A and B are shown apart, each in its own frame.
Chain A
Amino acid sequence: MDCTVFFMASFLAPITLGLPAFIVDGRKADIYLVFNLSLITIIYLLGTILYFESKEKIVHVILVKNSILGEFYGLIVDPYSITVGLVVLSCGILFLVYSIDYLSKDNRLHPVRRGKGRFYGWMLLFMGSTLAFLHASTLIEALIFFELMSLSCWGVISYYGSARDIISANKALLYTHVGAVLGLYLASFLSLYYIGDTSLFSLSNLPAYAKTELLLLVMVASLAKSAQFPFYSWLLDAMVAPTPASAFLHGAAMIEMGVYLLGRIAQFINATSPIVLYVLVLLMVITCIICMLMYPLQVNAKRFLAYSTIGEAMIMYIGVVYALAGSSIGLKATIAYLVNHAFIKGLGFLIVGVFEYTYGTHNMRHISNLILKSKLLSMGWFTSIIGLSGAPPFSLFFGKMLILASVTSVETLLYLIPVFAMIVYSCVFFIVGISWVNRMIFSECEEENLAVVTKIPTLMKYSIISLIVFSLTSHFLFYNMISQITIYGGLTS
């Protein structure tokens, strides 16, 4: 059987079957969630196995095609999408399993008594639309699921329902929607206007000047989605979301999809336009400087991690810049960075979730002497902070080395700027991070009022353990798939 059927099913299942989750609650919602998750996992893994058995490099099916819009709806399965798909799936499962214990009345910061089902419903929709977005084969299709992602993001951010939550959720929706309107709508229109088709495969037929315009437009949508300057502030307000949702948003879905989109276009468009690179590099450097200035000021663990996400997404764009400049390793580096970052960032958020659950705070100043309270917590926090700064043996290091290796076609010194920015950025993050690690894990605070031994609920504990394992091994697990990623520039289906 064709593997595309399974991939179709893998995102149609959560989008449709996820809807009943909105009306169930409590234990039933948990069971329904587990059922849904196992269903998606089985379908997606079957599809992946069938894809790798078929030994085809890229599988492309056209489902809807007409004369006005060209290829309207299709599906692409290739290593690029499958790698990210598996990350979204594994992160999604781990974070949702974690949230079964997290959303309870024992949570000290946000006790939840009813409405668990609503959260699961939004999250399943989020996962489904993300998976669909990954395999989209046309700009219009990408746009549809891009907007659906923004919508479900709105749903999870506003979950707790206070006025501030709703304002933050509206802001997130507004920013990403404006990005989509300015970017993807216009890009689809442009593509239709010039060649009467929005298929990714036809993008290389665009005239050269149109390619530059299209890249600039898509860049706007990507930057808005991945919270880069000048669209970065929605991500900081989105911190009001429940922590497992934040983990998903930062680690595997929303932010990464912006990078994924621009990388996808770079993969197909077969163009090097210096102007795009200059604009992108300039914005990246500004983003980097903002993050470096803001790090030392943060005391809220979630905001600290949010700035880190913005900065790490900036690093992922470096690979895309080099790919657009003609490097063959650029996209591999981006995806390697994305994969490794997902697990480590997710781990950081889940640890913060435990802080909220047991200590009722995510203020880093109120947490000290973790090593006495829980070995697992201190190990996880150490792993995520040191790992995020790109130090071995944690796998983000390999992503960083690949990005350094992708600097192969430097024509002007300008292209070296992002690499320098990355190194300075990592140093600043490292300095701030290690200071917090020292303070939170090892040192004893005088105003000690927290419980001496911390009990972590079982499911939360196991998600954290598996994320620690993933953050040590993810590069080796995904290396084979990442090394198969290639640039298709000029390929016709």
Chain B
Amino acid sequence: MSGAVNSRILKVAFSSLTVVVLTLVSLIMYVNNIELDIHGIVLRVDSMSLPFILNIGIVGIAAIISSYEYLRLYDGKNIKLPYYFFLLLFVTSMMMIPMLRNWLVFIFFWEVMTLMSYLLVIYDYKDAKILSIGRNYFILMHVFSTSCLLLLFMMVNYFSGTYDFTYYNEFSTVLLCLGLIGFGIKAGLFPLHFWLPQVHPVAPSPISALLSGSMVKLGIYGLARLLVLLKAEIPSWFFYALTLTALINVIMAFIMYPLQKDIKRLFAWSTIDNIGWIMLLVAILTLRIEHAETIIGLYVLSHGLAKASVFILSGGMIYVYGTRNLNKVKGMVHSCKSLALLLVAAILALEGVPPFSLFLCKHDVVLNLLHVNMLLAVFMLVNWVLVFIIFLAIIHEYLFAEGKPEILRPLPRTISYTALALIIASTLAYPLLLMLIGAKP
């Protein structure tokens, strides 16, 4: 038994070290403006990709470390999949994506990411339900995301003669349609959002943190990058379509929140909600408003870290109480105080309460929307407050309620400390990132 534990520590150490090194290297590449050229594959970190890379790096490390104890849940099941190998490949391929400057290599890593996410989602493959959800997820991604992106890159290659990133002037309508579907499904944009609340709950919790905190954000990255590269005038229908789908995302999440009893489903809907917010920013980006890219980056980083912390804490809840059902943990604060308090902090961070960074981000979104449409801005502001009230009610109804649920196992330190670190990072994300991006001329 001790041999197995030792080898697990080694795996955790090796994978987290790799991710730390990768994050540091990309940070150095950004600060010193270094461009790497490996056999024609150009890697560059600019101010648009930096927040995504930092987000993936930090959430990746947290996911790897919190997996150490979390995986004990699967100990007796005789599972033969190499978890850390897949996890490391998953994180690495995700970190590569924002650095690339070539669509061919982009889709290569994009597909590696999808494949690895499938293999990680079905980690608990002995359960037939998980297996079929994982299969449906993979099929959905292949049919919508991969096919559309392949066609998109074929068009790009056809018009510009190369897969490298260049500026495009022609056929923006077709490119935008394909991009909207291909990247939109990854991001969980209406009407292609339905996979999110199914897939996130069944994956192991550290993986849910990565899926929700990092992977869906790459859909945003792809769309934003495509929009930046399109030099032709972006048709106005695209702005309206994007705003409309974003609004539907937000409204649908608002309706679904009170109906959720499964903690991970609840947070999956919260991801859909926040994707709506970010997509509004992307819509603003199409109007060529200054700093929209920066705000996207800030929002992504702040939200990614907060979302990862709530998912890792849901993992902690599953570990401690053996259930995802919120009804069974009523009065959590009386039996496992640290978990309950951390969850409260994480939920507050997620809902944009000061001093957490997401407050500043949401504030920025509303401010920018004011320039575009007064009504929209007011609607988002009201929505923000109402969602906060819903979550406050959830905290009171479940976490602070009467009762004392039974503890199966004590809360492991790896989970509580990583969640705490993520919450702190989420507080500091806004000013630090602004400093980093601002530091460069």
A371 touches B80 (CB 8 A): yes
A431 touches B139 (CB 8 A): yes
A392 touches B115 (CB 8 A): yes
Q: Which of B124-168 contact A (CB under 8 A)?
A: 125-126, 128, 131-132, 134-135, 138-139, 142-143, 146-147, 150-151, 153-154, 157-158, 161, 163
A393 touches B112 (CB 8 A): yes
Q: How far is the CA of A443 from the CA of B81 in the complex (A)?
A: 13
Q: How far is the CA of A457 from the CA of B203 in the complex (A)?
A: 37
Q: How far is the CB of A295 from chain B (nearest CB, A)?
A: 13
* Of the residues B108, B115, B122, B158, contact of A386 by C-beta under 8 Å: B115
Residues from chain B with a CB closer than 8 A to the CB of A430 are: 139, 142-143
Q: How far is the CB of A375 from chain B (nearest CB, A)?
A: 7
Residues from chain A with a CB closer than 8 A to the CB of B158 are: 407-408, 410
Instruction: Give how many A residues have a beta carbon under 8 Å from the other chain's beta carbons.
Output: 29
A372 touches B139 (CB 8 A): no
* Of the residues B112, B146, B150, contact of A404 by C-beta under 8 Å: B150
Residues from chain A with a CB closer than 8 A to the CB of B128 are: 443
Residues from chain B with a CB closer than 8 A to the CB of A431 are: 139, 142-143
* Of the residues A375, A423, A424, A434, contact of B138 by C-beta under 8 Å: A434
Q: How far is the CB of A378 from chain B (nearest CB, A)?
A: 8
Residues from chain B with a CB closer than 8 A to the CB of A389 are: 142
Residues from chain A with a CB closer than 8 A to the CB of B161 are: 408
**A428 and chain B: residue at smallest CB distance:** B143
Q: Which of A425-455 contact B (CB under 8 A)?
A: 426-427, 430-431, 434-435, 438, 442-444
Q: Tell me whether A401 and B104 are in contact in the complex, defined as CB-CB below 8 angstroms, given that A391-B111, A392-B111, A442-B122 are known contacts.
A: yes
Residues from chain B with a CB closer than 8 A to the CB of A6 are: none
- Of B126, B150, B163, most buried by chain A (CB within 10 Å of CB) is B150
Residues from chain B with a CB closer than 8 A to the CB of A397 are: 108, 111
Q: How far is the CB of A153 from chain B (nearest CB, A)?
A: 35
Residues from chain A with a CB closer than 8 A to the CB of B157 are: 404-405, 407
Q: How far is the CA of A393 from the CA of B119 in the complex (A)?
A: 14
Q: Tell me whether A391 and B135 are in contact in the complex, defined as CB-CB below 8 angstroms, given that A405-B157, A442-B122 are known contacts.
A: no
B122 touches A423 (CB 8 A): no
Q: Which of A183-205 contact B (CB under 8 A)?
A: none
Q: How far is the CA of A444 from the CA of B126 in the complex (A)?
A: 7
A375 touches B80 (CB 8 A): yes
Q: How far is the CB of A374 from chain B (nearest CB, A)?
A: 10
**B158 and chain A: residue at smallest CB distance:** A407
Q: How far is the CA of A405 from the CA of B147 in the complex (A)?
A: 15
Q: Tell me whether A438 and B135 are in contact in the complex, defined as CB-CB below 8 angstroms, given that A393-B112, A397-B108, A405-B163 are known contacts.
A: yes
Q: How far is the CB of A180 from chain B (nearest CB, A)?
A: 36
B154 touches A419 (CB 8 A): yes
Residues from chain B with a CB closer than 8 A to the CB of A423 are: 147, 150-151
Residues from chain A with a CB closer than 8 A to the CB of B109 are: 392
Q: Mark B273-317, 1 if CB is under 8 A from A, else 0.
A: 000000000000000000000000000000000000000000000
Q: How far is the CB of A269 from chain B (nearest CB, A)?
A: 25
A442 touches B111 (CB 8 A): no
Q: Mark B77-94, 1 if CB is under 8 A from A, else 0.
A: 010110000000000000
Q: How far is the CA of A232 from the CA of B81 in the complex (A)?
A: 39
Q: How far is the CA of A327 from the CA of B132 in the complex (A)?
A: 42
A404 touches B154 (CB 8 A): yes
B125 touches A442 (CB 8 A): yes
B150 touches A392 (CB 8 A): no
Instruction: Give how many B residues have a beta carbon under 8 Å from the other chain's beta carbons.
Output: 33
Residues from chain A with a CB closer than 8 A to the CB of B143 are: 427, 430-431
Residues from chain A with a CB closer than 8 A to the CB of B81 are: 371
Residues from chain A with a CB closer than 8 A to the CB of B122 are: 438, 442
B142 touches A392 (CB 8 A): no
**A389 and chain B: residue at smallest CB distance:** B142
Main secondary structure of the interface of A (DSSP, over half): helix
Q: How far is the CA of A397 from the CA of B142 in the complex (A)?
A: 13
B108 touches A405 (CB 8 A): no
Q: How far is the CA of A115 from the CA of B125 in the complex (A)?
A: 44
Q: How far is the CB of B204 from chain A (nearest CB, A)?
A: 15
**A437 and chain B: residue at smallest CB distance:** B135
Residues from chain B with a CB closer than 8 A to the CB of A371 are: 80-81, 125
Q: How far is the CA of A463 from the CA of B135 in the complex (A)?
A: 30
Residues from chain B with a CB closer than 8 A to the CB of A426 are: 147
Q: How far is the CA of A183 from the CA of B59 in the complex (A)?
A: 62
Q: Mark A331-375, 1 if CB is under 8 A from B, else 0.
A: 000000000000000000000000000000000000000011001
Q: How far is the CA of A100 from the CA of B122 in the complex (A)?
A: 37
Residues from chain A with a CB closer than 8 A to the CB of B115 are: 386, 391-393
A427 touches B125 (CB 8 A): no
Q: Which of A400-427 contact B (CB under 8 A)?
A: 400-401, 404-405, 407-408, 410, 419, 423-424, 426-427
* Of the residues A391, A405, A408, contact of B142 by C-beta under 8 Å: A391
A391 touches B126 (CB 8 A): no
Q: How far is the CB of A368 from chain B (nearest CB, A)?
A: 12
* Of the residues A372, A392, A424, A438, contact of B112 by C-beta under 8 Å: A392
Q: How far is the CA of A431 from the CA of B132 in the complex (A)?
A: 12
Q: How far is the CA of A97 from the CA of B35 in the complex (A)?
A: 47
Q: How far is the CB of A479 from chain B (nearest CB, A)?
A: 11
Residues from chain A with a CB closer than 8 A to the CB of B146 are: 391
Q: How far is the CA of A427 from the CA of B107 in the complex (A)?
A: 16
Q: Mark B53-78, 1 if CB is under 8 A from A, else 0.
A: 00000000000000000000000001
Residues from chain B with a CB closer than 8 A to the CB of A427 are: 142-143, 147
- Of A410, A424, A443, most buried by chain B (CB within 10 Å of CB) is A443
Q: Mark B253-284, 1 if CB is under 8 A from A, else 0.
A: 00000000000000000000000000000000
Q: How far is the CB of B196 from chain A (nearest CB, A)?
A: 20
Q: How far is the CA of A392 from the CA of B138 in the complex (A)?
A: 13
Q: How far is the CB of B218 from chain A (nearest CB, A)?
A: 15
A392 touches B139 (CB 8 A): no
B111 touches A438 (CB 8 A): no
Q: How far is the CA of A155 from the CA of B231 in the complex (A)?
A: 62
Q: How far is the CA of A408 from the CA of B157 in the complex (A)?
A: 8
Q: How far is the CB of A283 from chain B (nearest CB, A)?
A: 23
Residues from chain B with a CB closer than 8 A to the CB of A434 are: 135, 138-139, 142
Residues from chain A with a CB closer than 8 A to the CB of B108 are: 392-393, 397
Q: Tell me whether A443 and B131 are in contact in the complex, defined as CB-CB below 8 angstroms, given that A408-B158, A410-B158, A423-B151 are known contacts.
A: yes
Q: Which of B381-399 contact A (CB under 8 A)?
A: none
Q: How far is the CA of A444 from the CA of B139 in the complex (A)?
A: 21
Q: How far is the CA of A443 from the CA of B80 in the complex (A)?
A: 13
Q: How far is the CB of B167 from chain A (nearest CB, A)?
A: 20
B153 touches A372 (CB 8 A): no
Residues from chain A with a CB closer than 8 A to the CB of B142 are: 389, 391, 427, 430-431, 434
Q: How far is the CA of A246 from the CA of B163 in the complex (A)?
A: 37
Q: How far is the CB of B149 from chain A (nearest CB, A)?
A: 11
Q: Tell me whether A404 and B153 are in contact in the complex, defined as CB-CB below 8 angstroms, given that A397-B108, A427-B147 are known contacts.
A: yes
Residues from chain A with a CB closer than 8 A to the CB of B153 are: 401, 404
Q: Mark A279-307, 1 if CB is under 8 A from B, else 0.
A: 00000000000000000000000000000
**Pairs A-B, 8 closest by C-beta atoms:** A442-B125, A404-B154, A392-B111, A392-B108, A427-B143, A371-B80, A430-B142, A423-B147
List 17 A-B residue pairs with CB atoms under 8 Å apart, sorted by A's residue number: A391-B114, A392-B111, A393-B111, A393-B112, A393-B115, A397-B111, A401-B104, A401-B107, A401-B150, A404-B153, A407-B157, A427-B143, A434-B135, A438-B132, A438-B134, A442-B131, A443-B128
Given contacts A431-B142, A438-B122, A443-B128, 14 further A-B contacts (CB under 8 A): A372-B78, A375-B80, A386-B115, A392-B111, A393-B111, A401-B150, A401-B153, A404-B153, A407-B158, A408-B161, A430-B143, A434-B139, A438-B135, A443-B131
Please give the residue numbers on chain B whose beta carbons come within 8 Å of chain A beta carbons, in ascending order.
78, 80-81, 104, 107-109, 111-112, 114-115, 122, 125-126, 128, 131-132, 134-135, 138-139, 142-143, 146-147, 150-151, 153-154, 157-158, 161, 163
Please give the residue numbers on chain A whose beta carbons come within 8 Å of chain B beta carbons, in ascending order.
371-372, 375, 386, 389, 391-393, 397, 400-401, 404-405, 407-408, 410, 419, 423-424, 426-427, 430-431, 434-435, 438, 442-444
